[in-house]
Copies of this chain bind each other. A is one copy, B any other.
Amino acid sequence: MNVAAANAANQRVIDDSFTVEPAVPVDEHVTPELGNHYHRFVAPPGALTVRYEARAAVSYTLADPATIGGTPPDRLPLGSVPYIVPSRYCQSDQLMRLAFREFGRVPQGHRQVQAICDWIHANVDYIAGTTGTLTTALDTATQRAGVCRDFAHLGVAFCRALNVPARFVSGYSHDLDPPDFHALFEAWLNGAWHLFDPSKRISRPGFVRIGTGRDAADVPFALIIGAASMRDMTVRCTFTGAGADGQEPGPTDQAVTIA
């Protein structure tokens, strides 16, 4: 499972616990670069309850979007190759013409990626139950319906089609109603990753990161081998602290830089 909050560039896990009932041994693994925190266990037959609790401190830098330019392909860090090539759910290679037609004339940088988010928000209906684990960015580009995961995949695919490194981020958000897992994406701009929410459903500064990957295939909430079915799931996420100004983070039009 990949449901634990990550220790990442802008996020520190204060404390957390992962428990399984009935109790079974649990392996843990944290990926060196990204901080994805996986738990693995062999489930005994019968009902199983998994509970994860954590407190995490998150910090973001807000910036004027106009100051966040793009990076020409010949200056991209070569380590960003994995985030510029197509992946399972983000077939950027098949969306190039569409991306260039829709966004090719927008100045590169934060404004261009924001234009991608605006397009997705305007052109894709957010409807639970219309998509599944096989749904790809290519499907969403034509079928025009999906959930946060599909929105993020399409954002990632459009960015890569425009030579902007982009990756998928799963996490928790305190202002999602009803509470659930959420998915966003990050684009590499001006030397840093920046967070985007094409579904426009949450305040990005209050988002708690779980997994970071090429797409949802890398950070499955649960990768199940064998037969299992989910009986019930509850997500709760509360904002317990406050920003520098003593306020709960709210919606922002500013660039959200991970640093």
Say whether B217 contacts A145, CB under 8 Å: no
Q: CB < 8 Å: which of B27, B95, B125, B217 contacts A97?
A: B125
Q: A74-B40, A217-B86 are in contact. Are A225 and B29 (CB under 8 A)?
A: no
Given contacts A93-B134, A94-B142, A98-B144, 10 further A-B contacts (CB under 8 A): A28-B78, A29-B77, A84-B223, A87-B217, A94-B134, A95-B142, A98-B142, A101-B144, A138-B142, A163-B225
In A60-106, which residues have CB < 8 Å from any B CB?
Answer: 73-74, 77-79, 81-82, 84-88, 91, 93-95, 97-98, 101
Q: Give chain B nearest CB distance to A86 CB in angstroms.
A: 5
Say whether B88 contacts A223, CB under 8 Å: no
Oligomer: number of copies: 4
Q: Is A35 an interface residue (CB 8 A)?
A: no
A86, B220: Cα distance in complex, Å? 11
Most chain B CB neighbours (cut-off 10 Å) among A78, A133, A134? A78
Say whether A85 contacts B223, CB under 8 Å: yes
Chain B residue, CB-CB nearest to A2: B81
Q: Is A49 an interface residue (CB 8 A)?
A: no
Tell me the dominant secondary structure on chain A's binding face.
mixed
Q: Give chain B nearest CB distance to A162 CB in angstroms.
A: 10
Residues of chain B within 8 A of A19, CB atoms compared: none
Say whether A144 contacts B97, CB under 8 Å: yes
A residues with a Cβ closer than 8 A to B are 27-29, 31, 38, 40-42, 73-74, 77-79, 81-82, 84-88, 91, 93-95, 97-98, 101, 123, 125, 133-134, 138, 141-145, 163, 217-218, 220, 223, 225
Residues of chain B within 8 A of A144, CB atoms compared: 97-98, 101
Residues of chain B within 8 A of A74, CB atoms compared: 27, 40-42
Say whether B97 contacts A145, CB under 8 Å: yes
Say whether B143 contacts A85, CB under 8 Å: no
Q: CB < 8 Å: which of B29, B42, B84 contacts A78?
A: B29
A87, B141: Cα distance in complex, Å? 19
Q: Give chain B nearest CB distance to A136 CB in angstroms.
A: 9
A-B contact pairs, 26 of them (CB 8 A): A27-B78, A29-B77, A29-B78, A29-B79, A42-B74, A73-B225, A81-B218, A81-B223, A82-B218, A85-B88, A85-B220, A86-B217, A87-B87, A87-B217, A88-B91, A94-B142, A95-B143, A97-B143, A97-B144, A97-B145, A98-B143, A101-B123, A141-B141, A141-B142, A142-B142, A163-B225
